[in-house]
Amino acid sequence: MTLPSATEVVIIGAGAAGLMCAITAAQRGRKVLVLDHANKVGKKILMSGGGRCNFTNMYTEPDNYLSNNEHFCKSALSRYTQWDFIELVGKHTIPYHEKTLGQLFCDNKSQDILQMLLDECQAAGVDIRAKSSIHKVKPEASGGFMLSVELGGVRSALSAESLVIATGGLSIPTMGATGFGYEIAEQFGLDLLPRSAGLVPFTLQANEKEVFAELSGSSAKVRVSCNGQSFLEMLLFTHRGLSGPAILQISSYWRPGDEVCIDLYPDGDLEMLFLEQQVLRPKAELKSIVSELYTKKMAACFCDLWCESKALNQYSPGELKEFAQRLHQWRVKPSGTEGYRTAEVTLGGVNTDELSSKTMEAKKQAGLFFVGEVVDVTGHLGGFNFQWAWASGFAAGGYV
């Protein structure tokens, strides 16, 4: 099937933001063409949430987002809220549930959300083409854009009044992530902020990696802090370092060289607990007490690392206090992160100062819009990035 020679709106990227933008624009009566270089659309939607798509969060607020301009996201998020998307999900009778902390997941599979978006696109008359490559984008003197597009090995020219960049960030290149959106931004003179992997596991220094390798697969509820931010969630030890929701959350605030403080027992006072047990069970080994709080492997590792295990009545109050403090304030200086290979999002991107917060249109180029992850707005873990995709896509779709 050949491409048309002209259309009103071209959206590059058939992910969450691109499809939402397409639906919104087409429902306004605009003629919309969506192009994506992957062999099938919505790949990140399909793999998200362990295959069940954490499609939004009931507690979405602007505070859940990182950006060089903390106010930029407010306009879009207020005009298309989590409740609006939940209503759409309900319209399509997709069963879902709250997992934790307001995170909403499909009962079945992520395919339900993707199919919902594709059904909405079809109903609105959106034309979607996968396996298409954009070789050139050129502004036209009279307004609009001329694109050189390759589809099925055939290259053709395509003109459009409006152009939306919804190509995502650099995270998970195996899903087809590229820097195309940033290249377009640079072509049109837009400022880009430094990009880095966000919501990503940490790698440990060689000596710590060796010590904690045996704990791979073990997890614990922790409070992790860095650069004035703190998250109370689960930590997971991996063969490379540290992961789990708590680590992914704090990784977006961490910078190379920073130290991370981890409270391995955030819901209580270990010093008090140890002193109480010393009275109640004086002959019990410290390792036995600690193994009641964590897995046996973790208890053995922590005791071997920070405190010789012996009967509780052989410790001074000062020794028990010191060990408790080690567990409450485990200080780690990661060697780095696992990078874009496993990162859920890309921090940074198109500077929001270059865009209208109302329309997502570039201030320097009429008709050019940027939505979703390519923009310098990054959500916390838990459905917030999808909500930004829906909201920013909706915002642009109302004006393209």
Question: What does the pLDDT look like over 56-65, one tens digit per residue?
Answer: 999 999 999 9
pLDDT at 309 over 90: no
pLDDT mean across residues, the chain = 96
Output the CA torsion sign for 275, 276, 280, 281. negative
Q: How close are the terminal C-alpha atoms of the chain, in Å?
A: 25
User: Mean per-residue pLDDT for 11-32?
Assistant: 98
| Per-residue pLDDT, 175 | 84
pLDDT for 212-238, tens place per residue?
A: 999 999 999 999 999 999 999 999 999
Categorize the per-residue pLDDT at 2 as very low, low, confident or very high, splitting at 50, 70 and 90.
confident
Distance CA 158, CA 156 (A): 7
Which is the CATH superfamily of the domain at 201-337? Answer: Translation factors (2.40.30.10)
| Per-residue pLDDT, 58 | 98
| Per-residue pLDDT, 1 | 66
β-pair partners for 156: 149
pLDDT for 101-141, tens place per residue?
A: 999 999 999 999 999 999 999 999 999 999 999 999 999 99
Distance CA 58, CA 217 (A): 30
pLDDT at 388 over 90: yes
Which is the CATH superfamily of the domain at 6-196+344-397? Answer: FAD/NAD(P)-binding domain (3.50.50.60)
pTM: 0.95
| Per-residue pLDDT, 262 | 98
Q: What is the CA radius of gyration of the chain?
A: 25
Scanning the structure block, which residue is given the tokens 């549930």?
A: 97
| Per-residue pLDDT, 297 | 94
pLDDT at 248 over 80: yes
| Per-residue pLDDT, 327 | 98
pLDDT at 302 over 70: yes
| Per-residue pLDDT, 109 | 97
Q: Helix H segments across 48-188?
A: 73-79, 82-91, 111-124, 180-187
Kindly list the domain boundaries of the chain, sorted by start residue: 6-196+344-397, 201-337
Q: Do domains 6-196+344-397 and 201-337 have the same CATH topology?
A: no
pLDDT for 349-384, tens place per residue?
A: 999 999 999 999 999 999 999 999 999 999 999 999
Tell how strand 6-12 and strand 32-35 pair up: parallel
Distance CA 6, CA 35 (A): 14
pLDDT at 184 over 90: yes
- What are the C-alpha distances in Å from 135 to residues 106, 180, 185, 261? 37, 10, 15, 47
User: Mean per-residue pLDDT for 322-346?
Assistant: 97
Percent of the chain past pLDDT 70, that is, above it, reads 100
